[in-house]
Structure 1
Amino acid sequence: MAIGLSTYSFFWRWTAAQRPLSLTDMVERTAEAGATVFQVCDYPPIEEASDGELERLRRRASALGVRLELGTRGVAGPHLARYLDLAGRLDVAFVRTMLNTAAHRPTVAEAVALLAAALPGYAARGVTIGLETYEQVATDDLLAVVRGVDDPHLGVCLDPANCVARLELPATTVERTAPYVVNLHVKDFAFTRAPGWVGFSLVGCPLGTGLLDYAAMVAWVRPVERGINQIVEHWLPRQDSIERTCAVEDEWTRHSVEFLRRAGS
């Protein structure tokens, strides 16, 4: 088990900053923060990177003692094959994905068939796929896919915050998926009143200050005992300026790493 950061730990700093961070920058800042895993998650440019760019990223991460993971969306055969190739080039042993894309929403049976066809190639290279819990797919259906494929190289990437929008309680999501979890996305969240007191917003907050029952989650999942990496993410609302937003993002990231370290993760 290791503490890791994700591209979602640097979301504002690579999507909106005046000088956006590169993947190499994010790897270096991961090492500086004391984390040892970096998950390149929902970062489409990685798919267009040249062989040289991928090799330079791999070498830099290796030199800093940072292991790389990948994250994408979709379970179509060619797409999973592309990410298996990327995993090989980057020395990656874990790929997170989601069932749906904008153009493809497979049924449970279709997802089982697609993943069952892809898993032998992943297993042969020692790469595990984690299907993330999120609001577009009921947890029952996600678990039906994992159980239907029934392969040790397929499991759940648990992010209990995502399922709130489906009116699934985080605690229930944690308890039901715990035996199948292979990767953890750790972010805290809270409801705040919308301006004018009409409605609520579900937004991020510093780890340990919101609704995520972190202690209960790790008690169920047992990431240390089972060797499950914990990857820090944020739902940070934009602040009054992009400079301030990036500064707060950095504060939250460093706080999260220290929180997990103190928790004995």
Structure 2
Amino acid sequence: MAYGLSTYAYFWRISSRAPVPLTVEEMVRSTRELGGDVFQICDYPLIETFDDARLAGLRATAEDLGVTLELGTRGIGEDHLARYLELAGKLGVTLVRSMMNSADHRPGTAEATGLLRRAVPAYAAQGVTLGLETYEQVSTDDLLTVVRAVDDPHLGVVLDPGNCVARLERPRDVVEATAPYVVNIHVKDFAFSRRDGWVGFTYAGAPLGEGLLDHAHLVETVRPHERSINQIVEHWLPWQDGGFETTARIEDQWTRHCITTLQRSK
């Protein structure tokens, strides 16, 4: 088990609002500087445009720094999963996170099961595990129906209990239901706050330990230390009134706080 960071820990610093967005190589170096051992390149379509030379250079940079790389994408179409398996091979990746739905494809459980039964054997043959993330577009019950039907140790669940609140699923219930199948954890705290005039709520991120995520219960239930499951820091930091400089500074503060908090919990 190791702690690490995701591209979502650098969300605003790689966005179009950044004067000069960070490169993936810079994020890998930052991960090591902050004490992380894993960097998950998640929902970062630019990686698909890298030629073999840049992919080899990225892999070498990570290996030189002692940082393990993981990949993350969306969708379970056969060609798309095959493309990410190819990328995984070139980067030395053994964990690929995906989601059941993509922008143009929302398979039901039967279709998803068929697609994954065809895709997962190639992942297994290459020693790569595919993890499907918990999130509001797909119920946890449906996600687990697919994972159980495929019934392969190289297909599991990427646990992010905060995502499921928008579906009115309780994070604690999601943790307990998915625990036997978890292969990766996204550590992202979250909280509700009243909007101006007390008209409704905003649901957004919070520094780890200051929101509603019961991380102690998650660790006790899933047992990542015993099962060699990596915990990856992400954020839901809203854009700040002070603009990019303020937002980037707070994003960095949250990242440092989260990775330090996780390391102290060992």
TM range (shorter): over 0.9
Which amino acid in the other structure matches residue 89 of structure 2? G
Cα distance per residue 1:89-142 (max 9 Å; x no partner): 000000000000111000101101101101111001100000000000000000
- Partners of 1:17 and 1:222 lie apart in 2 by 37
- Partners of 2:74 and 2:259 lie apart in 1 by 26
Report what 1:5 is aligned to.
5
Report what 1:52 is aligned to.
53
Which amino acid in the other structure matches residue 82 of structure 2? A
What's the secondary structure of 1:231's corresponding residue? strand
1:195, CA displacement in angstroms?
1.6
Report what 1:82 is aligned to.
83
Which amino acid in the other structure matches residue 84 of structure 2? Y
Report what 2:258 is aligned to.
256
Which amino acid in the other structure matches residue 29 of structure 2? E
What's the secondary structure of 2:131's corresponding residue? strand
Q: How does 1:215-254 map to 2 (within 5 A)?
A: 215-240=216-241, 241-254=243-256
- Partners of 1:77 and 1:224 lie apart in 2 by 33
1:194, CA displacement in angstroms?
1.1
Report what 2:189 is aligned to.
188
1:17, CA displacement in angstroms?
1.6
1:77, CA displacement in angstroms?
0.3
Report what 2:135 is aligned to.
134
The list of structure 1 runs, each at least 4 consecutive aligned residues, that deviate by more than 3 angstroms after superposition, is none
* Aligned length, in residue pairs: 264
What's the secondary structure of 2:158's corresponding residue? strand
Q: How does 1:1-265 map to 2 (within 5 A)?
A: 1-15=1-15, 16-240=17-241, 241-264=243-266
1:65, CA displacement in angstroms?
0.4
Cα distance per residue 1:176-222 (max 9 Å; x no partner): 00010000000100001112210001000100010000000000000
What's the secondary structure of 2:61's corresponding residue? helix
- Partners of 1:176 and 1:59 lie apart in 2 by 38
1:53, CA displacement in angstroms?
1.0
Q: What TM-score does the superposition give when structure 1 sets the normalisation length?
A: 0.99
What's the secondary structure of 2:100's corresponding residue? coil
Which amino acid in the other structure matches residue 33 of structure 1? L
Q: What TM-score does the superposition give when structure 2 sets the normalisation length?
A: 0.99
- Partners of 2:5 and 2:199 lie apart in 1 by 35
1:64, CA displacement in angstroms?
0.4
1:63, CA displacement in angstroms?
0.5
Which amino acid in the other structure matches residue 252 of structure 2? D
RMSD of aligned residue pairs (Cα, Å)? 0.5
Which amino acid in the other structure matches residue 100 of structure 2? L
- Partners of 2:137 and 2:30 lie apart in 1 by 32
What's the secondary structure of 1:243's corresponding residue? helix
- Partners of 1:19 and 1:205 lie apart in 2 by 26
1:23, CA displacement in angstroms?
0.2
- Partners of 1:208 and 1:90 lie apart in 2 by 33
